[in-house]
Amino acid sequence: MKKQPQQHSSRGCQEPRPHVAPSAGAGPGQGGAWRRRRPLSLLPFLSLRDYGFCMAALLLFCLGSLFYQLNGGPPHFLLDLRHYLGNSTYLDDHGPPPRKVLPFPSQVVYNRVGKCGSRTVVLLLRILSERHGFNLVTSDIHNKTRLTKNEQMELIKNISTAEQPYLFTRHVHFLNFSRFGGEQPVYINIIRDPVNRFLSNYFFRRFGDWRGEQNHMIRTPTMRQEERYLDINVCILENYPECSNPRLFYIIPYFCGQHPRC
Ligand SMILES: *[C@@H]1O[C@H](CO)[C@@H](O)[C@H](O)[C@H]1NC(C)=O
Ligand SMILES: *[C@@H]1O[C@H](CO)[C@@H](O)[C@H](O)[C@H]1NC(C)=O
Ligand SMILES: *[C@@H]1O[C@H](CO)[C@@H](O)[C@H](O)[C@H]1NC(C)=O
Ligand SMILES: *[C@@H]1O[C@H](CO)[C@@H](O)[C@H](O)[C@H]1NC(C)=O
**pLDDT per residue as tens digits for the range 70-99:** 777 777 777 787 777 777 766 777 777 666
176 and 134 part of one domain: yes
Asked, for residue 237, whether it belongs to a domain, the answer is yes
Q: How far is it, in rounded angstroms, from Cα 161 to Cα 245?
A: 39
Residue 139 alpha carbon to ligand 2 centre in Å: 14
Ligand nearest to the CA of 139: 3
Nearest CA to ligand 3 atom 7: 158
CA 248 to chain centre: 37
User: Does the beta carbon of 159 lie inside 6 Å of ligand 3?
Assistant: no
Domain that holds residue 243: 194-256
* Domain closes at, from 157, 188, 219: 188
Q: 199 and 173 share a domain?
A: no
Q: What average pLDDT does the segment 2-11 reach?
A: 42
For the whole model, what pTM was predicted?
Answer: 0.57
In a domain, 95, yes or no: no
In sequence order, which residues have a C-beta less than 8 Å from that of residue 165 and are 6 or more positions away? Answer: 102, 104, 105, 106, 107, 108, 134, 135
Average the pLDDT over each of 22-26, 59-63, 111-115 and give the range with the smallest value: 22-26
**Given the residues 8, 19, 171, 173, the one annotated as active site:** 171
146 vs 12, residue with greater confidence: 146
The answer on 208 and 156 residing in a single domain is no
pLDDT value for 11:
42
Of the residues 131, 153, 188, the one at which a domain ends: 188
Active site residue 171: yes
Do 168 and 203 fall into the same domain?
no
Answer whether residue 101 is part of any domain.
no
| Residue ID of nearest Cα to ligand 3 atom 13 | 155
Q: Does residue 200 sit in the same domain as residue 133? A: no
**What is the count of structural domains for the chain?**
2
> Does residue 232 sit in the same domain as residue 179?
no
pLDDT tens-digit profile of 197-237?
888 888 888 887 766 655 556 677 788 888 889 999 999 99
> Is 1 among the domain residues?
no
Of the two residues 249 and 59, the one the predictor is more confident about is 59
Q: Which of 188, 215, 230 is the last residue of a domain?
A: 188
Whether 178 and 216 share a structural domain: no
pLDDT of residue 67: 73
Say whether both 183 and 201 belong to one domain: no
Asked if residues 148 and 155 have their Cβ atoms less than 8 Å apart, the reply is no
Instruction: Report how far residue 262's alpha carbon sits from residue 254's, in angstroms, rounded to the nearest whole number.
Output: 8
pLDDT at residue 214 in the model: 59
155 lines ligand 3 (CB under 6 A): yes
Q: Residue 207: beta bridge partners?
A: none
Among 143, 146, 215, 219, name the best residue to mutate to test ligand 2's pocket (greatest count of ligand atoms within 8 A of Cβ): 143
What is the reported pLDDT for 100? 64
Single out the residue of 224, 108, 241 nearest to residue 166, CA to CA.
108
| Residue 136 domain flag | yes
Is 134 within a domain? yes
Query: Rounded to the nearest whole angstrom, what is the distance from the C-alpha of residue 186 to the centroid of ligand 3?
Result: 20
Assess whether 179 and 251 both reside in one domain. Answer: no
The string of DSSP letters for 43-65 reads STT--HHHHHHHHHHHHHHHHHH
**Cβ(158) to ligand 4 under 6 A?**
no
182 and 198 inside one domain: no
Query: Is residue 229 one of the residues assigned to a domain?
Result: yes
pLDDT in tens, 133-146: 999 999 999 889 99
* Residue 245 lies inside a defined structural domain of this protein: yes
**Ligand 2 centroid distance, CA of 68 (Å):** 79
Ligand 1 centroid vs 73 CA: distance in angstroms? Answer: 17
Cα-to-centroid distance, 84 and ligand 1 (Å): 10
| Selection from 192, 184, 168 nearest residue 113 by Cα | 192
Which distant-in-sequence residues (6+ apart) come within 8 Å of 235 by Cβ? Answer: 202, 242, 243
Query: 143 and 119 share a domain?
Result: yes
